[in-house]
Structure 1
Amino acid sequence: MCGRPNHYSRRTVLGAATAALATVALPGAADAAAARRRIPLDRISIQLYSLRSLLQNDPEGTLSALADIGYRKVELAGTYGRSATEFRAILDRCHLRASSTHIGIDGDLDRTIADAKILGNTRAVVPWAQFATIAEWEAFAAKMNTAAIAFRRAGIPLGYHNHAHEFAPIDGVRPYDVLTAKTSKRDVHLEIDLFWAVTGGADPVELFRRHFPRVVQYHVKDMTADGAMTDPGTGVIDFPRIFAASCSTLREYIVEHDEPADPLHTAQVGFDYLRTVRF
C-alpha cells in the first residue's frame, strides 16, 4: 500500500482566553500580515496522536493516506503495538520520516533511546508532567537534565511539550518558569503547544522571545471563540503573527488535534493551512 513514492482529555481553561486576546485574530489581522514568507514543506509534520484511532488497526493505510496528503514527516506518540523495527519499516514503505517522538523518561532510558535511533528520530520530547508543588517541578527539571544528557550523547536532542497547567501559578510561581529556568538551555529545547499556551493565558510570541533560541517546534492546533479545540486555520489564534515572530529558528510546525471527529480530515485541513499560510 505504501510502496509508491511520496507526493510531496480536553482541559480547556475558558477564563484564560480573555488573557490571551493578544494572540487571537482581529478583523484585518490576516491582511496586515505581509504575505512574504511561507513554511517549507520539509518543516511541516503531524502528531500521530491525532490519528491514534486509525493507527491502532491500520497503521500502513493511515500513514499511506498521510503521504498522499503531502506529509513527509510525522511525530510519534508510540508505535501502536509494533516494535520500533516494525514501525520503521512501515514508515519507510510510506516514504515518511519520524523526525520527532514523544517519549517518557521514567522507564528504561537506554531502551527508549535505542528505539528512537531505530525509528530515525532526530528529536525527542517529553509530552506531559504535572506536580502539585514547585519543589516537585524542580526535581522534575533535574530529571530532565539527566535524561537530556543521555539523549544528547545519542545525537537526539530532548525537549518538553507544554499543556495549560504549566502556566497556572503555584504559590505565585509558574511551573513553566521553573522548568525553563532549571533545565539546561543547551540540552533541553521547547516544543510549544500553541493551543494549550493560549488556553493557559500565555502569549506564544512572548514565550518564543523570552526563551530564544530554545523554541524549535510548534504544535499547531486552533481555538474557537469559546475556547474549544479546532483544526488549524479554522479558529481564532493568530498564527501569522506567531509564525512571523518566530520563523527564524522554528524547525517543525506540527499539526495536531487531541480529539478530532475525522482524523484524516484534520490532517488534510492542517496540511493545507500550513502550506498556504503567509506571514
Structure 2
Amino acid sequence: MCGEEAERFHSRRSLLRGATTAAVAVGAAVALPGLADAAPAAQAETQGHGYGHGHGRVPVEKISIQLYSLRTALQADLPGTLSALADIGYRKVELAGTYGRTAQEFRGLLDKNHIKATSTHVGIDGDLDKTIADAKVLGNTRANVPFAAFDTIDGWKQFAGRLDTAARKFRRAGIPLGYHNHAHEFAAIDGVRPYDVLTRGTNPRYVHLEIDLFWAVEGGVDPISLYRQHFPRVVQYHVKDRTADGKMVDPGKGVIDFPRIFGRTRPNLHEYIVEHDNPTDPLSTAQTGFTYLRNVRF
C-alpha cells in the first residue's frame, strides 16, 4: 500500500470509526456488512404483497442514502466519505450533484467503492440533454425533481406541464423522472392543493412519486393514505424522522411510525432512502439510518 493509499485508508477508517462510535452512543446497534442474515430479507420479498399484516423487513438492496445529507463530509473528503459509506454497508446512493467532479470522475469513485448511484435529484429547466447524458454515465436508473414552489395554482399547472414533458424525454432515455415533495405542496392555494395539481397534471405512466415522509407528515398528510391514493406511482421513500414538536432527527429517533407505514405500503417500493437535511454528524446519521432500516420489523 503506497503512502497516498495508506492515508486514504486510515482517513476512511477514522471517519467510519467516528460514525460508529456516535451511533453506539445514541443506542444504535451496529450492523456490519456481511454479518446480517440475508435469508429473512429474501423471505420478506416473497411475503405480504398486499397491504396485509405479517412480518417484513427492508431488504438491504433497497436501502439507499441521499448524499445531500453528507454534503459537508463529501466536500471535505469525497473519496473517504464514499468509502466510509461502503464500509457501513451502503450499496446504493441518491445523488444531489457531483461535488466538482465530472460525471465520469464521480462514477469512477462510485465504482471503486462498489456503490451504485441508482437515483438522482435533477433540475429540468436547464440543458436536459446534458442532464440525461450525465445521468446515463453515472448509472442512474431513476431521477427526481427535488423542489418546486409557486405562489399560484396557475404556476403549479405550468410546472406540471413542464415536468410531464421532461419526464417523457427522460423515459425515452430509459430513466424515469419523478417528483420529491416538501410540506408546502399540501398547503392549499385558493382551496386547491398544489400536490393535487401536480399529480393530476402529469401522466402516471411517465411521472412517478418520491414521498419524503418527514415533509408529508409536516404537511399534515398521512403517508399511507397518500401512498394508496397514488398507487402505483410511489416508488421511493425518503426516510427521515421528526420529534413531536417538528424537529428533524435521524431515522428511528423520532415519532414517525415507520413500521406502520412500511407494513402497509410495501408493494412497489423500490428504495428506502435515508436522509437528514442538516445532520450534526453526517456519517453518524448514515450509520444510524442504515442500522435502523436493517433492523426495523413490520
Structures share a fold, TM > 0.5? yes
Q: What SS is found at the alignment partner of 1:278? A: coil
Q: Structure 2 CA distance, aligned partners of 1:254 and 1:54?
A: 18
Contact in 2 for aligned 1:56/1:81 (Cα 8 Å): no
Q: Spell out, residue by residue over 1:140-198, the C-alpha distance to the aligned partner (whole angstroms, 9 max, x if none).
A: 00000110010000000000000000000000000001000111110000000000000
Q: Structure 1 CA distance, aligned partners of 2:104 and 2:53?
A: 45
Q: What SS is found at the alignment partner of 1:74? A: strand
Contact in 2 for aligned 1:75/1:99 (Cα 8 Å): yes
Where do 4+ consecutive residues of structure 1 move more than 3 Å?
none
Q: Confirm or deny that 1:56 pairs with 2:75.
A: yes
Q: Structure 2 CA distance, aligned partners of 1:50 and 1:257?
A: 5
Which residues of 2 match residues 18-37 of structure 1 at below 5 A?
36-37=55-56
Contact in 2 for aligned 1:47/1:75 (Cα 8 Å): yes
1:165 to 184, 190, 199: 184
Q: Structure 1 CA distance, aligned partners of 2:72 and 2:251?
A: 19
Q: Structure 2 CA distance, aligned partners of 1:119 and 1:36?
A: 35
Please name the residue that 1:117 is paired with. Answer: 136
Q: Structure 2 CA distance, aligned partners of 1:161 and 1:230?
A: 19
Q: Spell out, residue by residue over 1:31-54, the C-alpha distance to the aligned partner (whole angstroms, 9 max, x if none).
A: xx9671011110000000000001
Q: Spell out, residue by residue over 1:240-277, the C-alpha distance to the aligned partner (whole angstroms, 9 max, x if none).
A: 11101111110000000000000000000000000000
The alignment's C-alpha RMSD in Å is 1.5
Q: Spell out, residue by residue over 1:89-127, the C-alpha distance to the aligned partner (whole angstroms, 9 max, x if none).
A: 000001100000000001000000000000000000000
Please name the residue that 1:199 is paired with. Answer: 218
Q: What SS is found at the alignment partner of 2:76? A: coil
Please name the residue that 2:48 is paired with. Answer: none
Please name the residue that 1:180 is paired with. Answer: 199
Q: What SS is found at the alignment partner of 1:118? A: helix
Contact in 2 for aligned 1:125/1:159 (Cα 8 Å): yes
Which residues of 2 match residues 9-158 of structure 1 at below 5 A?
36-158=55-177
Please name the residue that 1:220 is paired with. Answer: 239
Q: Structure 2 CA distance, aligned partners of 1:172 and 1:89?
A: 49
Q: What SS is found at the alignment partner of 1:56? A: helix
Task: Read off the aligned partner of 1:158 and give its amino acid letter.
Answer: L
Q: Structure 2 CA distance, aligned partners of 1:7 and 1:114?
A: 32
Q: Structure 2 CA distance, aligned partners of 1:161 and 1:34?
A: 28
Q: Structure 1 CA distance, aligned partners of 2:244 and 2:261?
A: 18
Q: Spell out, residue by residue over 1:5-48, the C-alpha distance to the aligned partner (whole angstroms, 9 max, x if none).
A: x945xxxxxxxxxxxxxxxxxxxxxxxx9671011110000000
Contact in 2 for aligned 1:127/1:162 (Cα 8 Å): yes
Question: Percent same amino acid at aligned positions?
Answer: 70
Task: Read off the aligned partner of 2:99 and give its amino acid letter.
Answer: Y
Q: Structure 1 CA distance, aligned partners of 2:144 and 2:86?
A: 23
Deviation at 1:58, TM superposition (A): 1.2
Task: Read off the aligned partner of 1:86 and give its amino acid letter.
Answer: E
Instruction: Return 5+ residue gaps in structure 1 as ranges.
Output: 9-32
Q: What SS is found at the alignment partner of 2:118? A: strand
Task: Read off the aligned partner of 2:205 and give its amino acid letter.
Answer: R
TM-score normalised by length of structure 1: 0.88
Please name the residue that 2:44 is paired with. Answer: none
Deviation at 1:57, TM superposition (A): 2.6
Task: Read off the aligned partner of 2:251 and give its amino acid letter.
Answer: P
Please name the residue that 2:259 is paired with. Answer: 240
How many residues are paired up?
A: 253
Whichever of the two has the greater Rg, that structure is 2
Please name the residue that 2:288 is paired with. Answer: 269
Instruction: Return 5+ residue gaps in structure 2 as ranges.
Output: 10-31, 35-51
